[in-house]
Amino acid sequence: MAETKLTITPEEITAFSLTKNEPEWFLQTRLKGLELAKTLDLPFIERVKFHRWNLFQSAIGEGTSMIEELPKVIPTAAGSAKIVQLGAVSYWEEMNAETAMNDVLVMDLFDALEQCPELVKPYYMTKAVPVDEDSLTAYHAAMVNSGVFIYIPKNVDVKDIIESHFVQNNLVDEAFVKHVLIVADENSSVSYVERFESIGDKKNTANIVVEVIAKQGAKVQFAAVDTLGQSTDAYVNRRGYLEKDATINWALGIMNDGNVIADFDSELRGDGSHSQVNVIGISTGRQVQGIDTRVTNYAPHSVGHILQHGVILDKSTLTFNGIGHIIKGAKFADAQQESRVLMLSEGGRGDANPILLIDENEVTAGHAASVGQVDDEQLFYLTSRGISEAEAKRLVIRGFLGAVIRSIPSSELQKELVEMIEQKLVASYEQ
C-alpha cells in the first residue's frame, strides 16, 4: 500500500474547490482522488527506487509571490497563442486574431471549467490518464491547483505554434500540481510547445499530468523542455489518446536538475493511428531519473515508435524503460523502439531496458538498446584534426542527441535545448 502521509481533509479540498467555482462533478473527482491516494500503490518504474521521494504535499493553494520577476525569464511570445503561469496563478494569456476567429481555445483550466465545462468533462482524466491508475494520479486529481485547457475545433489547421510556459514557484511552500488538457477535434492539426522551470530553492512536489486527445484524423506535434530545479522531486505523466488515423508526434527534452520519474505513453486506440515518441535526457550531479516510455497498439494498422537517447554525467542515474505492447486484435500493427544511454562518468549509472509484449500475430516489432562510453574512434578522428578533447566530446554528444532535437517544431526551442545541453556539459567538466 502507498504511504502518502497525506493530512489534507475532504473539507479542505471542498473549500478550495468552492474558491475556484468548480462544477460538482469536478469536486467529486477531487474527493474520489483523495480517498484513492491513501490506498493505491505507487506506480512501478522498472529499476528505479523512488519510494522515499517527496512526491506528496498536503497543502493546497495558490502562491502569488514574485510576479514582478517573471518578465526576466519568459521569452517573447511568437506564434498563434501563448499562456504563462507562475505556480498556480495564470499570469499572461494572448492569442492572435486568426486563431481566435477559428474558435480555438487556449485558457486557464479553471476558466474553462466555468465557461465551457461540456468540452472539458468528457476528457478530463477519463480517457488518457484515469484517476484510479495509481496513488500519484489519484493525488493529482485531488490536489490539482493549476492548469491549461486547449481545444482545436474540427477541421481547423492552426498555422503557428501554441506555447505554454510554466514556472514552479519554489520561493513559497506550495505543491506544483499542474494539469494540461489538449483536445484536437476531428481532422484538426496543431503544434504545441511547453516549458517547465523552477524559481527558488524550497523543497516542493511537482506532479504534472498532460493529456492529449487526438480525435479521428487529428494531427498533433508536441514538444516540451523540462528544466525543474534541484530541490524538486517530480512526477511527470504525458499521455496521448489516439482515435482512428490520428497522429501524435512527441519531442521531449528532460533537462531537470532534481529527481524525476516520468511516464510518456501513447494509447493507439483507433485503426491507422500513429505515434512517434522522441525523448532525450541528461542526468547530472547525484540526481535520479527514471523514464518509462510506452506505446500500446490496441488497433489494427497502428504504428508506435520510440526513440530515447540519454547522457549521464557525474554520479547521476538515468534509466530508460521502453515498452511496446501490441494488444490482441491489433493485426498489422508496428511497434519499434530504440533506447541508448551514453556514459560520461565512471560514477554514474545507466540502464536501457527494452520490453516488447506481443499478443497478436501478423505484426511487426523490434527493439534496440545500449549503454556505453563515447566512441574512441570518433574522438580520435576529431582530435586528430585539431579539436580539443572536451570540444570533441560535445560534438559527439550533440550528434548523439540530434535526432530528437531536430524533431522539435520550434527553431527557438531547438536553440534553447542545445544551449541547455552545453551548459550542463560545461558545468560537469568544470567540477
Burial of 271 (0-12, 13-18, 19+ CB in 10 A): middle
Distance CA 317, CA 312 (A): 7
DSSP code of 8?
-
pLDDT in tens, 225-236: 999 999 999 999
Indicate if the pLDDT at residue 4 is higher than 70.
no
Distance CA 170, CA 274 (A): 38
Of 110, 123, 195, which is closest to residue 152 (Cα–Cα)? 123
Q: What is the mean pLDDT of residues 64-80?
A: 58
Indicate if the pLDDT at residue 65 is higher than 60.
no
Q: What is the mean pLDDT of residues 6-33?
A: 95
For residue 299, what pLDDT is reported? 98
Beta strand 146-152 with 105-108 is: antiparallel
Per the rule left: phi > 0, alpha: psi between -120 and 50, beta: everything else, 314 is: left
Of 189, 253, 198, which is closest to residue 216 (Cα–Cα)? 189
Of 180, 164, 148, 181, which is closest to residue 82 (Cα–Cα)? 164
For residue 71, what pLDDT is reported? 52
For residue 340, what pLDDT is reported? 93
| Comparison of pLDDT for 379 and 333, the residue scoring more | 333
For residue 1, what pLDDT is reported? 42
226-252: burial string, b at 16+ Cβ within 10 Å, e else:
bbbbbbbbbbbbbbbbbbbbbbbbbbb
For residue 83, what pLDDT is reported? 94
Q: What percent of the chain has pLDDT over 90?
A: 73
Q: What percent of the chain has pLDDT over 70?
A: 94
Grid cell for residue 175: 505543491
Which phi and psi (to 5°) does residue 422 adopt? -60, -45
State in Å, rounded, how far the first CA of the chain is from the last one.
41
Please report which confidence band the pLDDT of residue 376 belongs to, taking 50, 70 and 90 as the band edges: confident
For residue 62, what pLDDT is reported? 61
DSSP code of 258?
S
- Lowest mean pLDDT segment, chosen from 39-43, 116-120, 205-209, 370-374: 370-374
Distance CA 258, CA 234 (A): 8
For residue 22, what pLDDT is reported? 97
For residue 40, what pLDDT is reported? 96
Q: What is the mean pLDDT of residues 205-223?
A: 97
Query: Residue 131 corresponds to which amino acid?
Result: V
Of 249, 255, 174, which is closest to residue 212 (Cα–Cα)? 249
Please report which confidence band the pLDDT of residue 406 belongs to, taking 50, 70 and 90 as the band edges: confident
Please report which confidence band the pLDDT of residue 2 belongs to, taking 50, 70 and 90 as the band edges: very low
For residue 70, what pLDDT is reported? 55
Q: What is the mean pLDDT of residues 161-169?
A: 93
Grid cell for residue 320: 530508460
Distance CA 349, CA 411 (A): 32
Q: Mean pLDDT in the chain? A: 91
Tell me the range of 171-175, 207-211, 309-313 where mean pLDDT is highest.
Answer: 207-211
pLDDT in tens, 114-128: 999 999 999 999 999
Which phi and psi (to 5°) does residue 96 adopt? -75, 165
